[in-house]
Chains A and B, each alone.
Chain A
């Protein structure tokens, strides 16, 4: 069976002067996958994600995301991806519903589409009772769930999650992953970074970046076997410590 690729990256490099933040990386992400993008601080993850989401252009190499070239079709690309990070979040001084309307509007959804989406979303999140609550009055874990739902409100082909569960309690963290699984069932591909190694284990495939390069990539089982480890935590430490 031929797998459909959603991200295809070839020899991607980003250099700041002599320093190569991302050095000649090539990989693919397939449709419907949960792809874990791991690496130590400063390994180049953030730079790579910025290139994949069309925020910065690459120094050399090329790639496509959701079928659009990451350097030449950045506007088209941005319409077809979702993005959420711990920092990018919701407007604290707007209510839940107002945030949904705002982001729906940005992505060009009609009034009716927004209402349909919002109804479905509030249902899934069991948050109907707080739809008119200011975001600033909602607990962090819930906010992250809302932020994720808002990030996929326009049915993107792929959603990028940059440390989405940082600091969230263990139960809410798992509920968050339930949402990710649901999104995958809806046909959305998920590209996620995390510092929680148990979350890395939820991914279908995992890549490990070290010093700007992709050091290892494969399924959990493949990595565990290759590095003779029992958990992803061990793999990470073995790779990152060299």
Chain B
């Protein structure tokens, strides 16, 4: 559905997108995951034909985003980084406007947005500017869906939204997937990655890895341990000098310690006991995508 080939984009000296190649298959929920400033928005703008790539190409359903930009624009549902709604128009007026702009009506495609819109319906006369962040996000998604696009491009739809709204949003994306939508979505939250079929991890304009989230976690090269104690910070500093450490990062109320594969649990226990005088708990764990991302970042 989406074929991005060796695409590049620079602004002056800064290379925002550096030689990126991505293939998204029909019906996939594809996640582009990386921090702010990694180049996500530039890539989205090239896909939506709003920016022209310096090199390489992006083709959506056979249409080139530069040459056939009018065609491309017709088949896309795009949600830009900020919820681009008219804040002085009501919920219904926004939806109506975007439907008309795409030569359709709310009624015609109501079935597509029904599940999402029913939460908004009680507030349909409220101005978009008076909605909470989660509601704005839902309305923006409805506006992007209302013309029954072939491909959904969602640029950081969950930024600035609380964990509950975020979770709900991903549930919506999952249910849209069952309706056959192909979705390309970006997010800075690594835990969002687990919900995608395939993800590309992006940093400084480059793809660090691209695979299913499970495979990315599996490729993690080290043995990983979770250690918890009463004071995370002290524990982390204590581990800091451990010679067999590959890396150590805080993870909520525990610390993830990576070591070489031959290291055994007793070894670590003994080392820690020798330098700290409080209780701790250690167990081996499976790496998650955040562990993998940080490992890949370090390699860069």
Q: Which B residues contact A (CB, under 8 angstroms)? A: 34-38, 132-134, 159-167, 188-191, 203, 232-233, 249-253, 290, 293-294, 297-298
Contact = CB atoms under 8 A, between A and B. Distances in A.
B299 to A, nearest CB: 12
Interface string A225-242: 000000111001100110
A140 interface: yes
Given A40-B165, A41-B133, A202-B232, A139 B252 contact: no
A17 to B, nearest CB: 13
A141 B159 contact: no
Given A42-B133, A169-B35, A198 B252 contact: yes
A77 interface: no
Nearest to B251: A198
24 contacts: A40-B134, A41-B132, A41-B133, A41-B161, A139-B37, A140-B37, A166-B36, A166-B159, A166-B160, A167-B35, A167-B36, A168-B36, A169-B38, A170-B190, A170-B249, A170-B293, A170-B297, A181-B233, A201-B252, A201-B253, A232-B252, A233-B163, A240-B164, A241-B164
Closest 3 CB pairs of A and B: A201-B252, A167-B36, A169-B35
B253 A202 contact: yes
Contacts of A141: 35
B228 to A, nearest CB: 10
A197 interface: yes
Contact of A39 (B134, B162, B293, B294): B162
A220 B38 CA distance: 33
A169 B34 contact: yes
A12 B38 CA distance: 41
A201 B190 CA distance: 17
Nearest to A181: B233
Contacts of A168: 35-36, 188
A50 interface: no
B165 to A, nearest CB: 6
B27 to A, nearest CB: 28
B162 A240 contact: yes
Contacts of B162: 39-41, 43, 195, 236, 240
Nearest to A141: B35
A14 to B, nearest CB: 17
Contacts of A196: 189
Contacts of B189: 196
A240 B190 CA distance: 21
A164 B36 CA distance: 13
A220 B165 contact: no
Contacts of B161: 41, 195
A174 B237 CA distance: 13
A172 interface: yes
B232 A171 contact: no
Contacts of B163: 195, 197, 233, 236-237, 240
Contacts of A201: 252-253
Contacts of A178: 233
A202 to B, nearest CB: 7
Contacts of B188: 166-169
A68 interface: no
Chain B CB within 10 A, most for which of A141, A170, A202, A231: A170
Interface string A155-189: 00000000100111111101001100100000000
Contacts of B37: 139-140, 167
Contact of B164 (A40, A177, A198, A200): A40
